[in-house]
A and B are shown apart, each in its own frame.
Chain A
Amino acid sequence: MSSDGEEEFEFEFEDDDEGFDPEADSAGESISDAEAFDIMSPTLEEPPEKKPYDVNYRVRTMQEIMDMQTKEVKKVQSLLEVPADTAATLLRYYAWNSEKLQEQFWNDPTAALVSAGLSPPSSPSTSTQPLPSPLASPRPFECPICCMDYTKEQTATQTLALGCGHRFCRGCWTEYVVGKITTEGESGRIQCMESGCSRIVRAEPIDELVTSDVSKKYHNLLNQAFVSDAPSLRWCPHPGCEHIIECSQAPQKMLNQLVPTVTCRCGNDLCFGCGYPASHRPVICRIVKLWEKKCADDSETANWLQANTKECTKCQSTIEKNGGCNHMTCKKCKWEFCWVCMGPWSEHGTAWYQCNRFDEKSGSDNRDHQAKSRQSLERYLHYFNRWANHEHSAKLDADFYKSTQKKMEQMQSSANMSWIEVQFAKQAVDTVIAARITLKWSYCMAFYLKRNNMTELFEDNQRDLERAVETLGYSLEQNIGDVGAIAKLRQEVTNQSAYVQKRHDILMDDTLRGYLEHRWEFTV
């Protein structure tokens, strides 16, 4: 069987020499290098180099994010000469865009403060003051919400008014704030309960009003709002991971040219551009979104219906014809019509069992339409099945690692090889898995690519990688034989995985460079 693999290899090798890509030659070289393989320097462990389509990024912890906020608040605090919590509220209102905040603030400080839900510095309360001000001496008070009465003394301790002077009892405040935080997920924009009052409830009274776990949730929400407001930050989407990725090289407008795949400290990949919880290279975020939607919604069911069914012209019930003649009688509304021309059967006169209007325009239009629909369904299924196949393989990754692990142990014991000598197998599995993810997305890409020469080159690259991966996958599933066979297998796997790596790099490199060079045209 291994000779089959060799043949495949030769074919691939020649294919490269036909040469559409300058890097194809080096692929050839790497094979011959690998044949003169030296035990002590595995070729797979190349340091990752920075490509023009890669982005710089940093993985941040929650603490660092909080420090970033504090730093920003301090900066604004000293620039605008306002208290820290005022600076924080202002920054939240302006979505942490401190340039815009400064511009607006210097333009009209009062307006900036009022629109952010704060009173201007000179007058501690807003102009409308329907209720006793917080500074006025306490007197008996009835909470306008729950209608509880409070004595003079209780008013001081059990009721609360913000700078705007709207006084309510603490119980109502707590229920209101807890509801806002826990059920509505609000944080920085919780307003005074008085209707029409846009005074913001700041962190200090909230912490005082609610229990510590709600307060914790409140501060988490504030931090989340900070991360989602900042275009250069994104949460790691993987379950249980609390890291944040910081990347300033992939703004929204660059996402047509870049696929900013990053690796979080938790070891998982994600796309910084759209938050997809894995690499979706080489496809750009926009196309991934379209593909996901296409696969998820029932648009394809509709496609099938269109290809295989017709509708009763009277009651619009969907009908699948599974035999019989063209004289249809709708089960639902009893309407009689001709399946071929869709016209009423009564017009067919005496021409029973044969539609004499077959060639009329409406009939032929209908047939064209159905053929087209069937074709587009087949096209979609072609790409979807290949995509889904790789998706399915990825789900079996864990098993693949396990069985390889077993073989590695077997090799160590039967061929007396050292731990480091059998690592080639694990590296090969890593290579296969990474290549499969790329292949998977390459089918999504191909589905949306316009048919042209560029697309053909892309599909050639795709085919080469697909074949290389299959060959390597096959070799990895071989049973472990005697010492000689192991040496041969090892040589083979090492060669093949170097080749897969190369093909993978070529596909990725060419495709991602293609975006920068505006080579790809999509039909959407």
Chain B
Amino acid sequence: MFANNTRAQSSTAARRLMKEYRDLTADPLQDMITAGPISEDNMLEWEALVQGPEGTPYEGGIFAAKLRFPSDYPLNPFKMTFDPPLLHPNIYPNGDVCISILHAPGDDPMRYETASERWSPVQSVRSVLLSVLSLMHAPNSDSPADVECAKLYRDDKPEFERRVRAQVKSLLGI
């Protein structure tokens, strides 16, 4: 029955994404974040630029991420990948962002995340990007994606911050 629905679904996704794009352009989240489709022909592939928040080791950096939307968006969440990857306890070494709000409700068999923390169709690109910003302020080292990095963050914060700053610098080409 989903095969028949694919067309309807992808037009729903396109309509919804178009609206989200309009909203984000009208109110660009205090200039911290810009996001939009890479090409107007394909609304399911976006690029986002995230500014490192002030007061964090990410300050001064501008980080590019790819957002890939499923054709049944917003029933299912999109995927977010930093390219190039970003050193952060909740970002996999390949750049994939691991954040509970991007987990489909059925994804958590252990039920350690409550339903309200996971994806629901009323979440949006804006709400997810805001969560990513707050994750840069306060990494969650209890459920890490990059275990080594989480260990470093927990045991030796100055060293963690030093490495992040070095990465930011090299990304900016300084």
Contacts and interface: CB of A to CB of B under 8 A. Distances in A.
Is chain B a partner of chain A in the same complex?
yes
Interface string B81-106: 00000000000000000000000011
Interface string B2-33: 00010001001001101100000000000000
For the residues of B in contact with A, the DSSP-based class is helix
Interface in A152-194: 166, 172, 175-176, 178-179, 182-184, 191, 193-194
Contact of B1 (A147, A172, A182, A184): A182
A166 B12 CA distance: 20
Contacts of A19: none
Interface stretch (B119-127, B145-153, B156-164): B119-127
Contacts of A197: 116
Contacts of A179: 72, 75
Q: How large is the interface on B (under 10, 10 to 19, 20 to 34, 35 or more residues)?
A: 20 to 34
A145 B122 contact: yes
Q: Which of B5, B9, B121 has the most CB of A within 10 A?
A: B121
B36 interface: no
A175 B15 contact: no
Contacts of B122: 144-145, 166, 193-195
A148 interface: yes
A500 B42 CA distance: 75
A253 to B, nearest CB: 24
A176 B74 CA distance: 10
B75 A194 contact: no
Contacts of A267: none
B115 A176 contact: no
Contacts of A145: 16, 74, 121-122
B15 A148 contact: yes
A193 B120 contact: yes
A148 B11 CA distance: 11
A183 B70 CA distance: 16
B19 A147 contact: yes
Nearest to B9: A175
A146 interface: yes
Contacts of B15: 146-148
Q: Which of A172, A182, A191, A195 has the most CB of B within 10 A?
A: A195
A198 B19 CA distance: 27
A196 interface: yes
Interface residues of A, number: 21
Nearest to A144: B122
Given A176-B75, A179-B75, A198 B105 contact: no
B20 to A, nearest CB: 8
Contacts of A191: 115
Contacts of A183: 106
B5 A175 contact: yes
Q: Which of B105, B115, B122, B127 has the most CB of A within 10 A?
A: B122
A112 B146 CA distance: 40
Contacts of A144: 122
Q: Which of B5, B19, B75, B123 has the most CB of A within 10 A?
A: B75
B12 A146 contact: yes
A132 to B, nearest CB: 15
Contacts of A147: 15-16, 18-19
A184 B120 contact: no
B59 to A, nearest CB: 30
Contacts of A193: 120-122
A194 B19 contact: no
A195 B116 CA distance: 6
A179 B1 CA distance: 10
Interface in B119-146: 120-123, 127
A351 B121 CA distance: 75
Contact of A176 (B19, B116, B121, B127): B121
Contact of A184 (B106, B116, B127): B106
A146 B75 contact: no
Contacts of B115: 191, 198
A148 B75 CA distance: 15
B76 to A, nearest CB: 8
Contacts of B16: 145-147
A178 B1 contact: yes
Nearest to A185: B106
Contacts of A182: 1
A196 B119 CA distance: 10
B154 to A, nearest CB: 29
A195 B120 CA distance: 6
A179 B22 CA distance: 28
B48 to A, nearest CB: 20
A495 B107 CA distance: 61
Interface in A6-59: none
Nearest to B22: A147
Interface string A76-114: 000000000000000000000000000000000000000
B106 A175 contact: no
Interface of A: 144-148, 166, 172, 175-176, 178-179, 182-184, 191, 193-198
12 contacts: A146-B15, A147-B16, A166-B122, A172-B121, A175-B9, A175-B72, A175-B75, A176-B75, A178-B1, A179-B72, A195-B116, A198-B115
Closest 7 A-B residue pairs measured CB to CB?
Answer: A196-B116, A147-B19, A195-B120, A184-B106, A146-B12, A145-B121, A195-B122
Given A147-B16, A182-B1, A195-B127, 16 more contacts: A144-B122, A145-B16, A145-B122, A147-B18, A147-B19, A172-B121, A176-B75, A176-B121, A179-B72, A183-B106, A184-B105, A193-B121, A193-B122, A195-B116, A197-B116, A198-B116
